[in-house]
Amino acid sequence: MKIFRFLLPALLFAVISLFLYKGLSQNPRDLPSALIGKPAPSFTLPVLGQESQQWSPTELAGKVWLLNVWGSWCAACQVEHPLLNDLAKTGTVPIIGLAWKDKPAASIAWLKRFGDPYQVVVSDIDGRAGIDWGVYGAPETFVVDKQGIIRFKHVGPITPELMQTKLMPLLRQLQTAS
Amino acid sequence: MTRLPINSPATRPVASTRSFAAALQAIAGARAFAVALLLCIALPAAAPALAQSGPYVAPGTTETLIKDPADKARYDKLAHELRCLVCQNQTLADSDASLAIDLRRQLESMIVDGRSDDEIKAYLVARYGDFVLYRPPMQSNTWLLWFGPFALLAIGIVIWFGLHRRRKPAGADGAGVAGVRTVTPRSTPEGGGATTAADLERVSKLLDRD
């Protein structure tokens, strides 16, 4: 009984410590992705630089592809951009750019400056397609599989570690799957 | 304004080559530090020059399409119940973040389209998760959130009773055997029942008073 009286505060302390410790390593801005495992929302948006043309994800049906949400105003996008340039050079996967909440002229100038890894860039000037994809900041990157299902989402700049340990294996796995 | 560097050889004569080297090193260190400091100040200032200062907010009508007062009321209610995802402790109605402006516009056009409150909420939850709702829904993964405080209260009451029963010697109100009390001042199974019943009554009286 005496042991119980001594153990109880210790146990309480341990439980509270555990919760607080877990809280330390969690980023409240990382929201759970609601769209994973769901069909990629469709959109029809003008192609950057060729505004008379429209583009829609249906054009990549049956393929594994990457949607990268960025904007010329987004500093973190500059950080991840070289990785996307490298990925584009390997030709592993079509990368589609969603110029999110950006003026087309600014987007074009930015791509000239930092390189253009995108097969197509679509302009989402008023951010509606972004809302449809549950985007709440840039950059965000989605992986869509051959069936058009979103399989992965990353919020924030892609890191070399993420690219090597997660993104590349997933892309390969999805590409070999029927 | 002219100011000489404190550590420079010009102001402080150096006696030996060793201290001269040290002084040089100090200058180099200070200079590197100054450069780093300058970069820290200059870089964020230079960044807007490269691009726009923030996300572009498309011009267009916001909060002007709704004419019907009933729809306006719905809009206000929903905007106060939905969370701005960038500035997480603000509602859509409170926030000036550009995403909040976009989401308000989305909300507005969905109301104009005649979608119901539940449809609009379901649309946003499907995309942004339950977090977008300020009032968490009652579902299996929020049971802890909803019932946790009551569970803690129940546990607290149980512990309180447990401790209280143990501390009180058996037969304190004459029900127990006197001999037992002198030997070990602890509750016995026989005496415990009576004490607990009395305690329960006292507790319920205390609780009623508040």
Q: Characterize A65-86 residue by residue with b for buried, 16 or more Cβ atoms within 10 angstroms of its Cβ, and e for exposed.
A: bbbbbbbbbbeebbebbebbee
Query: Which residues pair with residue A96 across a beta bridge?
Result: A67, A120
Of A32, A35, A72, which has the smallest distance from its Cβ to B52's Cβ?
A72
Please tell me if residue B159 touches chain A, with a CB cutoff of 8 Å: yes
What chain B residue is nearest to A71 in terms of C-alpha separation?
B55
pLDDT value for A51: 87
**C-alpha distance from A102 to closest chain B C-alpha (Å):** 5
* Cβ atoms of residues B65 and B112 within 8 Å: yes
Please tell me if residue B63 touches chain A, with a CB cutoff of 8 Å: no
* Cβ atoms of residues A73 and A127 within 8 Å: no
pTM (predicted TM-score)? 0.66
Q: What is the pLDDT of residues B109-154, one digit of tens each?
A: 899 888 999 999 999 998 888 888 888 888 887 888 889 999 999 9
Q: Tokens standing for B44?
A: 């964020």
Chain B residues touching A31 at Cβ < 8 A: 85, 128-129, 131
Q: Look at strands A95-100 and A120-124 and give their pairing.
A: parallel
Burial bucket for residue A156 (CB in 10 Å: 0-12, 13-18, 19+): middle
Distance CA(B90)–CA(A62), nearest Å, equals 41
In a structure prediction context, what are the per-residue pLDDT tens digits for chain A, which is 178 residues long?
Answer: 677 778 888 998 999 999 899 888 877 666 767 888 999 999 999 999 898 999 999 999 999 999 999 999 999 999 999 999 999 999 889 999 999 999 999 999 999 999 999 999 999 998 899 999 999 888 999 999 999 999 999 989 999 999 999 999 999 999 998 7
Q: What is the pLDDT of residues A54-100, one digit of tens each?
A: 999 999 999 999 999 999 999 999 999 999 999 999 988 999 999 99
What chain A residue is nearest to B47 in terms of C-alpha separation?
A75
Report H helices in chain B: 17-50, 69-81, 98-112, 117-128, 143-167, 178-183, 189-209
The label of the residue with tokens 């002229």 reads A105
CA-closest candidate to residue A162, choices A146, A148, A141, A144: A141
Interface of B with A in 76-95 (CB under 8 A): 85-86, 88
The label of the residue with tokens 């949607």 reads A67
Distance CA(B194)–CA(B152), nearest Å, equals 27
